[in-house]
C-alpha cells in the first residue's frame, strides 16, 4: 500500500511540475527563427533558436537570445537536458521609461531548460556610473550551475524628440 502511495505522490509531483512548465511556456518570448545544426535521420534535428523579448519592467528595451535546442527522440518528447551555451544582445528600441524600481541582478526572464532541474535566466542590473542597463544570461541547476554566460549592455540615450533622459540609478532599490 505504501508503494502505491509513493507512486501516486510522484505522479502528482510530476503533473504539478508539468503544469508549472506549461504556465511558463504561455509567457514565452517571440520565436524569430530556427536553424538546424545537426542532421538526424529519424528524429528532429538539433537546432539553434533565436528569440526576441521586451523587458517587462522597462519600456524601450528589447533583448534577443539564441539557445541550442536538442533534437533526437529525447528532444522531441521534451526530456533532453539542454546545454548552457546561450548568447544575448539587448538594445534600446524606443524611449526608455522605467515602470518600477528593481533590484540589482533581478530576474527579467526565466525559462526551464530541462524537465526538472535546469533553468535559463536573464537578469538585469544598473551601472549607475555610466547610466547603462546591464543584462546577463546564464543557466543553472539545483546542484551545479554553469559558468557559461553572456552579457549585454544598453546605454540610456535620448530617443527622438525626447529631451529628458532617465537615470537607472533612480530606479534601483537600495
User: Is 113 part of a structural domain of the chain?
Assistant: yes
141 within some domain: yes
The reply to whether 164 falls in a domain is yes
Residue 19 lies in a domain: no
Name which of 10-19, 124-133, 148-157 the model is least confident about.
Answer: 10-19
Q: What total number of domains does the chain contain?
A: 1
pTM for the structure as a whole? 0.72
* pLDDT tens-digit map of 90-134: 999 999 999 999 999 999 998 765 555 567 889 999 999 999 999
Q: Is residue 78 part of a domain?
A: yes
14 within domain boundaries: no
Separation of alpha carbons 103 and 152, rounded Å = 17
Please work out, in degrees rounded to the nearest 5, the angle formed at the alpha carbon of residue 124 by the alpha carbons of 123 and 130: 145
Q: Which three cell numbers stand for residue 25?
A: 511556456
Q: Are 87 and 65 in contact (CB under 8 A)?
A: yes
Interval 34-77: pLDDT, tens: 887 766 667 667 788 899 999 999 999 999 999 887 665 555 45
| In-domain check, residue 109 | yes
Structural domain includes residue 97: yes
H helix intervals, the chain = 2-25, 72-77
Q: Degrees (nearest 5) of the Cα angle 172, 119, 102?
A: 10
Q: Domain residues for 50?
A: 30-171
Amino acid at each position: 500500500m505504501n508503494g502505491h502511495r509513493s507512486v501516486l505522490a510522484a505522479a502528482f509531483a510530476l503533473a504539478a511540475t508539468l503544469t508549472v512548465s506549461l504556465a511558463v511556456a504561455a509567457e514565452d518570448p517571440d520565436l524569430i527563427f530556427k536553424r538546424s545544426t545537426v542532421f538526424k535521420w529519424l528524429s528532429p534535428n538539433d537546432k539553434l533558436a533565436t528569440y526576441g523579448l521586451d523587458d517587462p519592467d522597462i519600456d524601450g528595451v528589447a533583448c534577443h537570445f539564441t539557445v541550442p535546442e536538442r533534437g533526437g527522440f529525447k528532444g522531441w518528447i521534451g526530456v533532453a537536458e539542454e546545454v548552457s551555451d546561450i548568447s544575448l544582445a539587448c538594445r534600446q528600441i524606443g524611449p526608455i521609461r522605467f515602470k518600477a524600481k528593481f533590484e540589482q541582478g533581478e530576474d527579467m526572464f526565466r525559462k526551464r531548460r530541462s524537465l526538472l532541474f535546469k533553468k535559463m535566466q536573464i537578469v538585469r542590473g544598473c551601472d549607475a556610473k555610466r547610466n547603462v542597463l546591464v543584462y546577463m544570461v546564464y543557466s543553472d541547476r539545483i546542484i551545479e550551475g554553469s559558468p557559461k554566460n553572456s552579457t549585454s549592455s544598453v546605454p540610456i540615450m535620448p530617443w527622438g524628440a525626447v529631451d529628458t533622459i532617465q537615470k537607472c540609478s533612480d530606479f534601483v532599490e537600495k
